[in-house]
Amino acid sequence: MITVVSGVPRSGTSLMMQMLAAGGMELLTDGVRAADEDNLRGYFEWEPVKRLPRELELIAAAEGKAVKVVSALVWALPADREYRVIYMERPLEEVAASQAVMLGRRGAQAPALEGAALIAALRAHQHQVLAQLGQQAHIALCLVHYHRLLATPREEAQRIRDFLGLPLEVEAMAQQVEPSLHRQRRSE
């Protein structure tokens, strides 16, 4: 079995990877992308996963581990393996705001879409990804709502442990949730 943590960028995937590591799960990461002001505790990424659509055999390195696969690439998971996908859902207004702040800090060019158009595109993408994941017999899916995770970290950590069927340390996982790191919030 391979555990995949996915979601649109800035949805909480790094937090979930951090929780899994604290719970005792081995991660497939490479440390290439270091912690920074946008992710103070790190990104927990594995750079080769970007080549997954062209090199399907790469995923074998994740057997028995957790690996982060951005939602735009999760469709490329080869069907010859079993996956437990933890998909992070965060309000897309917050995702867009977080992406904008991160791009601004880096001096990067703004995305082609902004505001309502960007949120609509993210919503369509997420709907398509979740529909596709739900149709795959080799994929079990667990949706984790970001705000629920922040509000009830112990309960969500227990739910994740039950989903994975692994003896993860629930308290250690829950302790990784730090609400003060939730900076881009949905406007009320």
How much of the chain exceeds pLDDT 70, in percent? 86
| 65 pLDDT more than 80 | yes
Sign for the pseudo-dihedral over CA of 177, 186, 101, 14: positive
- pTM recorded for the entire structure: 0.89
Q: What is the mean pLDDT of residues 175-179?
A: 89
pLDDT score for 102: 62
Please provide residue 174's backbone torsions phi and psi, each rounded to the nearest 5 degrees.
-60, -35
Q: What is the pLDDT of residue 87?
A: 98
- pLDDT at residue 138 greater than cutoff 90: yes
Query: What is the structure's pLDDT at 35?
Result: 77
Domains and CATH numbers, the chain: 2-178 (3.40.50.300)
User: Exposure string (b/e) for 82-106, b if CB count within 10 Å is 16 or more?
Assistant: ebbbbbbbbbbbbbbbbbbebeeee
So what's the pLDDT on residue 104?
Answer: 52
Rounded Cα gap, residues 96 and 8, in angstroms: 10
SS (H, E, C) the chain: CEEEEECCCCCCHHHHHHHHHHHCCCECCCCCCCCECCECCCCCCCHHHHHCCCCHHHHHHHCCCEEECCCCCHHHCCCCCCEEEEEEECCHHHHHHHHHHHHHHHCCCCCCCCHHHHHHHHHHHHHHHHHHHHCCCCEEEEEEEHHHHHHCHHHHHHHHHHHHCCCCCHHHHHCCCCHHHCCCCCCC
Please state which of the ranges 28-42, 63-77, 109-123 shows the lowest mean pLDDT.
Answer: 109-123
Its sign, for the CA torsion 105, 176, 133, 30, is positive
113-135 pLDDT, tens digit each: 667 888 999 999 999 999 999 99
